[in-house]
Structure 1
């Protein structure tokens, strides 16, 4: 509940409506260069950070055993396929377990790999990470590479999730976590307005305590959790952008609503109190650059690399 001008308005998290979230997610991705930025980063950094180190740690798969990969919050699979294609350069066989709670996104992933599944096998898990962890406790399967790209926002307990991921690594395995930087883009907006995408009140939640909310975790939260767990890591970063011109439409539009709701993690954010709406919009603009008539929201992601000792 957010109080503004003596009125109380409930801000509803966008993830409460999975169908709308998927639509907003797809629209947001269609207006940005996220996949291209990850591809460029992977071309420059992924092989050195992951592929070559895995070869050194566990061998090159010449024993005919598949490389075991786990994807957490895999979405449509476009990012994971970038990583899998890099891994296939050194590992002839790969078995991937895909954990994705949104059935629509999982279906799109399955469609995306139809023509790219040579030497790849999949185990599809349409469930939350917490549900998967409970199942995982019943077997001892370990993974050589785990990717959790932009998925730690939604786990119930960040520290427990990171410990579970680390425990799932095979000796010599590597865990990659990517998440928004706390000092730029989405991280900056969320730390300025920590109650967005949450049903808690702006009167009850400060930027510090809001970091426990699943929608507002960022790189600083992952840093803190890994340090508390005493899990060593190293980091890298990459930047991307999203065109958000329609956010500033004077008249309401579907595209503008999708862009706003995805940025704020809030259903029907345009219905928020006028003063809050204007403050958030100003913050979004402050995190953007203008090119001609268009506005581009500047995003930065921090990549955490964690290696399990052999």
Structure 2
């Protein structure tokens, strides 16, 4: 199959961020993630404290964000650790300079020492192996970033190796149940817009963890996104959402007309029935987007 003459949104930061901002506004993703941090990750923070520290001794904690993005969710996670560890050293690995700039402006916490690493995961891993100072981390987060790291099993193995005993790894990744993953699977024509590792899902990560002889706790993060604007040719935000779901810049105007119509039909079929009537509300095309939060604790035997 010939490679289409279109541009992936991943190659244009401004376009990608605009599309993702629309998605977050229409889906309530930020509130969903932050509420999970308060309700579920707070329990993990207690475990990290209880399993690693003498309650009477408040030592600094070392944490790592792998693919930190703009840092909004990472900040919510660190806030849950602060009551136990008022002094923290946090390493941020993020290759996008625009994201780091946004992070520094909006997501920096007091009493946290930041180590900014503007590099890809592959660069970080290479540099770490060459210049490792022996530092281990009590908590590592990789939130929607494993899509860009290459070999999943080796990535998980490396991250686990960087944990202290009783340390925790949090991986947030797309579930295969949601429309965001299903659209990629159902349309091979879109595959050139994505890197091969973008097909990673919760199932892929869980299988990699199991192959390493570990067990994981999985929490579902599910919400609905209103895609009604996608079906309006004159809706700019609808165009942005369509670009985000397909991975293609200006998809409606650059992709073959037949492909555009097939994608729109797929999204119509993905629409969620009204909770009361059980029928599709064609004035509000909401579809399910689904991530899994996967937690792994590094036990002594591991």
TM-score (norm 1): 0.85
CA–CA distance in structure 1, aligned partners of residues 196 and 213 of structure 2? 22
CA–CA distance in structure 2, aligned partners of residues 159 and 294 of structure 1? 40
Counterpart position of 1:135:
127
The 8 Å contact of residues 68 and 95 in structure 1, kept in 2 or not, is answered as yes
Q: 1:34-78, CA deviations, whole angstroms, 9 ceiling, x for partnerless residues? A: 110112222321122x11221222116753431111111111111
CA–CA distance in structure 1, aligned partners of residues 213 and 188 of structure 2? 27
Higher helix share: 2
Deviates more, 1:18-27 or 1:148-157: 18-27
Counterpart position of 2:267:
284
The 8 Å contact of residues 67 and 95 in structure 1, kept in 2 or not, is answered as yes
Task: Give the unaligned 5+ runs of structure 2.
Answer: 273-279
Change (3 A) 1:291 1:91: farther
Report how many residues are paired. 290
Counterpart position of 1:45:
40
Counterpart position of 1:261:
243
CA–CA distance in structure 2, aligned partners of residues 250 and 21 of structure 1? 20
Instruction: Say which of 175, 180, 184 aligns to 2:178.
Output: 184
Q: CA deviation at 1:285?
A: 2.8
Instruction: Say which of 1, 25, 48 aligns to 1:30.
Output: 25
Change (3 A) 1:12 1:214: farther
Deviates more, 1:144-153 or 1:241-250: 241-250
Pairs within 5 Å for 1:137-216 = 137=129, 138-139=131-132, 140-198=134-192, 213-216=196-199
Secondary structure of 1:9's match? coil
Secondary structure of 1:109's match? helix
Secondary structure of 1:240's match? strand
The 8 Å contact of residues 244 and 296 in structure 1, kept in 2 or not, is answered as yes
Counterpart position of 1:296:
286
CA–CA distance in structure 1, aligned partners of residues 55 and 89 of structure 2? 12
Secondary structure of 2:205's match? helix
The 8 Å contact of residues 234 and 306 in structure 1, kept in 2 or not, is answered as yes
CA–CA distance in structure 1, aligned partners of residues 228 and 135 of structure 2? 46
Pairs within 5 Å for 1:242-257 = 242-251=225-234, 253-257=235-239
| Consecutive aligned runs of 4 or more in structure 1 exceeding 6 Å deviation | none
Secondary structure of 1:230's match? coil
CA–CA distance in structure 2, aligned partners of residues 285 and 101 of structure 1? 36
RMSD of aligned residue pairs (Cα, Å): 2.2
CA–CA distance in structure 1, aligned partners of residues 70 and 244 of structure 2? 17
CA–CA distance in structure 1, aligned partners of residues 197 and 6 of structure 2? 15
Secondary structure of 1:241's match? strand
Instruction: Say which of 48, 68, 79 aligns to 1:74.
Output: 68
Counterpart position of 2:105:
111
The 8 Å contact of residues 239 and 300 in structure 1, kept in 2 or not, is answered as yes
Instruction: Say which of 110, 113, 122 aligns to 2:114.
Output: 122
